[in-house]
Chains A and B, each alone.
Chain A
């Protein structure tokens, strides 16, 4: 079953922060985060394997709450290059992605 992402879209000014959430009705064993720019391939950001695990990639970090079956992606001090669509993926015998969150960072 497809994980659910929120919000569907967000617009930021450079330097602002954002949080993207990913939740599943099924137990999560791992969560993958990707970013896709328009017309390009999705790019791997990070994978979280354990409940409570947190990781960082530049000024992008994520947490994984296994009990709540949720993961959140945190973008701090956003840059123009952060614009794109963010997908979370969950392992259910195969890698299934949420519907995506479109992030636009304006100057």
Chain B
């Protein structure tokens, strides 16, 4: 049973380009979280998704950031027109269906985005 898979592991983008981060949840998991982590800082919640549905996006910046989790395929976190301040590690975590918060969430290895 493969774990949570994120790709790419490292991504370098020039200012103004678009970044697409992918997350394939564990088998049987239908919920995905995205978090952003700056060096030496904590895990900042961005968005919580179920297949074909955004449950909570209160942590997403209002502009340039979007996320989706289609019926088929991985969850995508998309950052348009990247700026240097977007440089960070982006982690996704997946959890199985069940009472929200009452099931374990497992993390992928993260995508380290560097904007030059």
Contact = CB atoms under 8 A, between A and B. Distances in A.
Q: How large is the interface on A (under 10, 10 to 19, 20 to 34, 35 or more residues)?
A: 20 to 34
A44 B105 contact: yes
B102 A97 contact: no
Interface string A43-56: 11001010000000
Q: How large is the interface on B (under 10, 10 to 19, 20 to 34, 35 or more residues)?
A: 20 to 34
B55 interface: yes
Contacts of A100: 41-43
B10 to A, nearest CB: 12
B110 interface: yes
Interface of A: 29-30, 32, 34, 40-44, 47, 49, 87, 89-100
Interface of B: 33, 35, 41-43, 45, 48, 55-56, 58, 91, 93, 100-110
The 6 A-B residue pairs with the shortest CB-CB distance, nearest first, are A91-B101, A94-B48, A41-B107, A97-B43, A99-B42, A94-B56
